[in-house]
Amino acid sequence: MKALPKTKPKVLFGKVEGENRGPRMDALMDPPIELEDPLFWLRDDSRNNPEVLNLIKEENRFTEARTRHSKPFQQKIYADLLRHMKQTDAQVPYLWGEHYYYSRTVEGKSYGYICRRCGSMDAPEEIVLDLNALAKGQKYLDVGEWSPAPPAHALLAYSVDTTGYETYEIRFKSLSEGIRKGWEMRKLTANVACNDLIPGTSGSFVWGNDSSTIYYEKLDASHRPYQLWRHAMGTPTSEDVLLFTEDDERLWMGLDKTDSGRFLVLSLSGKQQNETWVLDLENAEGPIEHSARQLRLVEKRAENVRYSVEHHGEYLYIITNNFKGRECLNSMLVRAPVITPSSAHWEEVFAYDPAEQLKHLTCFRDAIVIHGRAQGYAQFWIYHPPITPCRSRSGKNSDEGTATLKKETHRKVPITHPESVYCVHSGQNRTYESNCFRYEYSSLVTPRRTIDYNLLTGAKTILKQVEVPYYDASRFGCERLEAPSAAPDRRGIPLSIVYKKSVLPEGVSRPAAPLPVFLTAYGSYGACNDPSFDSNRLALLERGVVYVIAHIRGGGEMGRPWYEKEGKFLAKKNTFLDFVGSAEHLVSQGLTAPDRLAISGGSAGGLLITACLNMRGAQLFKAAICDVPFCDVLCTMSDATIPLTVVEWEEWGNPNESAFHDYIHSYCPITNIRPQQYPAILVLGGLHDPRVAYWEPLKYVKKLRENLTADSGQLLLKIDMSSGHFSASDRYKYLREKAFNYAFVLEQLLIFE
């Protein structure tokens, strides 16, 4: 193999002939400017270069040697993590078609089982997918999606990734119902479940109206879903039909089906705009009828206009940030007739309320659940639309009625929750005709509950609370505080805090002495780091550590403006200053001290941590975990051949443009490393990570080592050679990695037991 060059002295920013440098040609720097990148040689897209692999292995051996002394401590933490896991457990069953589906785990098995019972839970169990069998002989396994084919659920499709690179193969399996009834096999070849394989997909797929046809996405060279294909079961993939290609590299293809089952939904989503097409599957039977159905545009894409679509009755219900030219940053709900869905026909359902963010919908025959946020927390609202002809997934109509919106009578009703600091998200809702909405509830001290909410009466039924062995919730407390940002505007930043009551008997506001604190955040893409329960956190809490989540700008906890106006593009530094301000506030209030404060973040949260380490170093922090850190922002965002780069230009800005280049240069972690005292730092990565390539943490560590002063803490790098962005897929290996990380932090905080 040809050796990689040890240097690439110049990286170009700006206009380069023959390369994609951004859509705004007039804004590109011309002539381009140059930046030295002496560590470029560490990049190997094939992940096969022996020189680079040996260097990674050398780093791993160094980390192993430096942490060997803590093996007994790691094992003790692992035992604690395992002690709080109910290793044999089962999910609450949910009805899907005529079957009750659920997943379960078995002690000693690394992966779960997806199971079902026909008609009732008293029927014999059928294992739909045995993930342990799928993982046999593999170092990594992720099942992206799985779905039984309508209407009889006799054939299963599922997508599998065995490398961590997030490229999936779609496989098929015949289920017992089809074998018993022969229903599917009359239409398909006998060996269809063995012979039909679809490689090189995004992992996302949708069945047509029956088991004859499946739709799926393919990836482009930069790992972006960009093509929609149709596959007729029992035919070779060489005969598959291309239905749509998205050439704009800023847009990411998504594939779904409406809750009613009537429409396939093709979404083309970017950070600043999107476009949606629908395909009516109603009454389609067999590949010929499916091939006759055509995609239909809902509303043409436009800059800074976003919308999403669901179906109810004879209307498409649409959440949008722009209604008749009026910006609605937190979005509002409108609707349009199925036959005329364009914005010219959009009708307001509720007046825009800037205090409430609307995000997406779950539709039932008799109600619509609106998902959103209010006052910093996730929220659900129940809306009963006017009576319309509502086709179910069986294609039958319900009673006819008026479709007129009566503004004086229609309203949305929030679901209330028992705690002031909490987290909710949707559960499994697979039955359109159901009168119950299932959701999951937890808090920093309350393990996850599965709840059915009656859409007609408002009654709640707790179906299950996850059992956490050896856990007593009464021993722990949680609070929400506010810290001033270190940014010039001093914006108030919410902090969610959980602790053992014995270390803070009078609460967070009255600490007797500085305590060890573990502070974490994310702060990008409008993602929300909500205060949910995590049993793994108990290994820290029971050792007296206070756990803090900072809901910084760039995230979406406080609504869309928290992200779009105050935490991205040329406002991105707010994210870092919010985190620094949160840490400083915890110190100034006496809750902790710089020598007792550990910080952690992953991916874009790793960018956050590495940026803040450059800003304050060991002056404010004692230890840091940088998990798959996106730390080479400037160089990565200049290169459109790297996965996600073009899509991400609408998150960070395009450094090929002067204004964004200078701004990103001013905070890019690798670019701004300087000689100073850094705290102890553990950097983590995955060799097959397509989102944050392994060379980013590797380059970061190599450059940082050259700049550590003699009084800096230890710097360790650990690259998982068999995983991608999301760490180990084996649940026991994942806990061992968590124990390793916790042991590193706890030792820095002088906690050794």
Nearest CA-CA partner of 336 in 285, 287, 276, 378: 276
Residue partners of 614: CB distance under 8 A and separation at least 6: 669, 672, 673, 674
- The band of 188, judged by pLDDT with boundaries at 50, 70 and 90, is very low
Strands 623-627 and 597-602: parallel
Report pLDDT digits (tens) over 659-678: 999 999 999 999 999 999 99
Mean pLDDT of the chain: 94
Mean pLDDT of 579-590: 98
Q: Which amino acid is at 471?
A: Y
- The band of 388, judged by pLDDT with boundaries at 50, 70 and 90, is low
Sign for the pseudo-dihedral over CA of 526, 531, 534, 537: positive
CA dist., res. 523 & res. 555, Å (int): 4
3-state secondary structure of 618: helix
* pLDDT value for 419: 97
DSSP assignment, residue 696? H
- The band of 189, judged by pLDDT with boundaries at 50, 70 and 90, is very low
Report pLDDT digits (tens) over 624-646: 999 999 999 999 999 999 998 99
* pLDDT value for 405: 53
Kindly name the residue from 212, 524, 535, 603 that is annotated as catalytic. Answer: 603
Mean pLDDT of 573-595: 98
Tokens matching residue 8:
């690439």
Render 62-111 in DSSP notation, one character per residue. Answer: HHHHHHGGGHHHHHHHHHHHHHTS-SSEEPPPEEETTEEEEEEE-TT-SS
- The band of 10, judged by pLDDT with boundaries at 50, 70 and 90, is confident
Report pLDDT digits (tens) over 60-107: 999 999 999 999 999 999 999 999 999 999 999 999 999 999 999 999
Does the structure show a pLDDT above 60 at 389? no
* pLDDT value for 183: 41
CA dist., res. 117 & res. 119, Å (int): 7
Packing angle of the helix pair 604-616, 573-588 (nearest 10 deg):
60
Look at the domain 10-81+489-750 and name its fold.
Answer: Rossmann fold (3.40.50)
Does the structure show a pLDDT above 90 at 396? no
CA dist., res. 112 & res. 731, Å (int): 9
Instruction: Order the strands of the 263-269 sheet from edge to edge.
Output: 252-257, 263-269, 274-280, 296-299
- The band of 7, judged by pLDDT with boundaries at 50, 70 and 90, is low
Question: Residue 400's CB: how many other CB atoms inside 10 A?
Answer: 10
Does the structure show a pLDDT above 60 at 1? no
* pLDDT value for 40: 94
Nearest CA-CA partner of 487 in 604, 560, 593, 575: 575
More confident residue, 358 or 397: 358
CA dist., res. 415 & res. 372, Å (int): 12
Kindly name the residue from 312, 639, 725, 730 that is annotated as catalytic. Answer: 725
Report pLDDT digits (tens) over 125-181: 999 999 999 999 999 999 999 999 999 999 999 999 999 999 999 999 999 854 444
Tokens matching residue 437:
């909405």
Does the structure show a pLDDT above 50 at 185? no
Packing angle of the helix pair 695-705, 50-67 (nearest 10 deg):
60
Report pLDDT digits (tens) over 210-249: 999 999 999 999 999 999 999 999 999 999 999 999 999 9
pLDDT above 70 covers what percent of the chain?
93
- Helix, strand, coil content of the chain in percent (nearest 5): 25, 30, 45
> Left if phi > 0, otherwise alpha if psi is -120 to 50, otherwise beta: which for 228?
beta
Does the structure show a pLDDT above 80 at 192? no
Residue that is written with structure tokens 């920013």 in the block: 13
Tokens matching residue 642:
């790297």
- The band of 400, judged by pLDDT with boundaries at 50, 70 and 90, is very low
Catalytic site residue 689?
Answer: yes
Chain-centroid distance, C-alpha 333: 24
* pLDDT value for 397: 44
Catalytic site residue 399?
Answer: no
CA dist., res. 232 & res. 494, Å (int): 51
How far, CA to CA in Å, does 92 sit from each of 82, 221, 606?
22, 40, 35
* pLDDT value for 196: 87
CB 531 within 8 A of CB 561: no
- Where are the chain's structural domains? 10-81+489-750
Tokens matching residue 294:
């055509």
* pLDDT value for 391: 45
Does the structure show a pLDDT above 60 at 605? yes
Does the structure show a pLDDT above 80 at 725? yes
Catalytic site residue 595?
Answer: no
3-state secondary structure of 36: strand
Report pLDDT digits (tens) over 415-451: 999 999 999 999 999 999 999 999 999 999 999 999 9
Does the structure show a pLDDT above 70 at 194? no
Does the structure show a pLDDT above 90 at 403? no
* pLDDT value for 358: 98
Render 102-146 in DSSP notation, one character per residue. Answer: EEEE-TT-SS-EEEEEESSTTSPPEEEEEHHHHHTT-S--EEEEE
* pLDDT value for 176: 80
Q: Tell me how far apart the terminal alpha carbons of the chain are, to the nearest angstrom.
A: 48
